[in-house]
Every structure is written in structure tokens, then in C-alpha cells.
Homo-oligomer: A and B are copies of this chain.
């Protein structure tokens, strides 16, 4: 079933996941094409972004920064859209826009959440390397991590949409970059394609020891975008004055309730104190007004100059979105995951 000009396919939340989401937690439905009212824009979805935060919105208790998805409602998500029809003065049919149509073919918007993209050779990049994940990498690394030349920067999920950009920007800033990723393929990718100085496998039982060997001068910045065991290996190696931007804790999204001991918090608090660590959370929604223009200018220049390479993992067809998210949460992707819903 492909996109039609008369009906709206949408993928809704069928059940709240117990732990990792499963295919049965999603349901593909058909609905009538929505009709724009006065001041509204009708959008057709070309590309849908898949991102780890989506898992959190599937829970009964959502995170602090966004409402949950209701049962029977369509899954939310960032999208690249073509304007089909407009009753809004700022948009006209044919415009290419960045929107939040979610997991569906068509959506209405009052325009307040839309950003004009102009024409782009590769519009899906507005969801990845020129969009939210890379913007997260940029603000988290530069504003919180603040790497200096010669610093050692460690990034987990190193081949993911955010991690791949973090490491490349850190290299640009003169830092030594250690990437941690799951599996030999990704380790090779991080070293060969992304150009990181060292790449380690997070499944390696000797991860802690190898990380210590790879960071003989300690770690100055740890970009936390996974949560879980990697942090345990990083913690003893953090230098005095280290910075830890916290932008994701994927490893925890599928857990329900309190975790088994031992309690790791006291050791972390002691390290924060003794090493004067600055740990700070980032939700990228906060920073569009103040930092997006800087990001867009810098990143475009870096990409044009070949200093930052962008990698996409494109799934074909809306029906692939559930499996795409499930895989993303397991770390099966290389670079930014997008769903191609339609081509034009």
C-alpha cells in the first residue's frame, strides 16, 4: 500500500509497550484525507524522522518535555513535507517545509511549527545532518562539552545520528575522539568512515580496560547519549573539570521501574564532587531560537568543505516505521534513520 491522493495512511499507537516496543504495539490505519480550514496548511509527508525520544512518548508517563501519544492516536515525529494546499498567507502549494506531521501521509498545520526549506537536493538531511540530531550534537558538544584542542572526547552510540556528528565536530575542534559503538561493523565504520582516533566495541568484556588504554591522559568530555554501562567505564577516567552533556539515555527507555543494585549513584556523586564535573541535560527544543542559525551556517560550511560527512539509513515506505524504531532502539542503524514516505 503506497501513498494515495485520497486517503490518509497513519500508524497509531495500539498498545503501550512493556519494555522494548514490538510490532503489535503499532497499527496501520486508513483515514480520510484531512481538509484545511482557514489559516491551515495541508501537508504531504515525504520523509519521516525516527528518533529514540519517540519511545518515551509511548509510555503512560511521558517525559517532562513533551506530551505522551494517546492510544489510538498517530505516532508523532518530525517530517519533511510538501505543501499540498494552503489557506495560510505564508505558505503556498508546492513549498517544501520542515514539519511535525508524524507517522502519516497527510496532516494539517496552522503554520506555527513549520520552517520553509526552499529547494534541497536531499531534503531528508533536514531531519538529520542539517536538522535536529546534528543540532543536538552541536549544542551539546560545543555549549556544554566545550572541547579544547588536545582534549579527549568520548562519545557513545558513535555511529548514530547524534554520535557521528559529535565525533566529527570534536575532531574539527582539535580534540582526540574515542567512539564507542556496538559490534565490529560499527567500530570499523567509526574509524574508517567517521575518522575517529579510536573506536571500541561496547560489547567487549574488556571495554573498561581498553578505554583506559585508549585514554592515557583521561577523559575531558563524555557525551552521554546512551546511558547504561558505557558510563561505568568512563567514570573513573574522567579528568578534573570534565564536562558531561546528557542528551539521551536510550538504554533506559525500555526499562520499567527501579533497576537492580548495586546503587551506582553514590560513586557518581563522589566523582562529580571530587573531579568538579559539570553534568548537564539538554533538550534541543530549548535552543532553536538562540543557536539554530549558528548551527545551520557552521554545519553547511563544514559539509560543503568535506569536514563533516553525513550518513543516512533510509527505510522505504511508511509501513517500515515501526520496525525502524524498534531497530533504532536496539542500535541497528548506521547514521540517521529516516523513512521515505513519498518521493516528491
Using a CB–CB distance below 8 Å, which chain A residues touch chain B?
63-65, 224, 227, 231, 240, 246-249, 252, 255, 258-283, 286
Contacts and interface: CB of A to CB of B under 8 A. Distances in A.
B272 A279 contact: yes
Contact of A249 (B240, B266, B280, B281): B266
Nearest to A144: B278
A263 B277 CA distance: 21
A78 to B, nearest CB: 19
B261 A273 contact: no
A260 B259 CA distance: 11
Given A269-B224, A275-B64, A277-B280, A258 B262 contact: yes
Contacts of A260: 261-263
The 8 tightest CB contacts between A and B, nearest first, are A261-B261, A258-B262, A264-B265, A64-B274, A272-B281, A273-B281, A259-B263, A278-B280
A277 B281 contact: yes
Contacts of A248: 273
A77 to B, nearest CB: 19
Contact of A262 (B259, B270, B271): B259
B282 A279 contact: no
Task: Describe A's contact surface by its main secondary structure.
Answer: mixed
A268 B280 CA distance: 11
Given A262-B263, A263-B264, A280 B279 contact: yes
Contacts of A265: 263-265, 268
Contacts of A247: 273
A266 B280 contact: no
Given A268-B268, A274-B281, 12 more contacts: A224-B269, A246-B272, A247-B273, A252-B269, A260-B261, A261-B261, A273-B282, A275-B281, A276-B280, A276-B283, A277-B280, A279-B280
23 contacts: A63-B270, A63-B274, A227-B269, A227-B270, A246-B269, A248-B273, A249-B269, A249-B270, A249-B273, A252-B266, A252-B270, A258-B261, A260-B263, A261-B261, A261-B263, A264-B265, A272-B279, A273-B281, A273-B283, A276-B281, A276-B286, A277-B281, A280-B280
A285 to B, nearest CB: 10
Contacts of A231: 269
Nearest to A227: B269
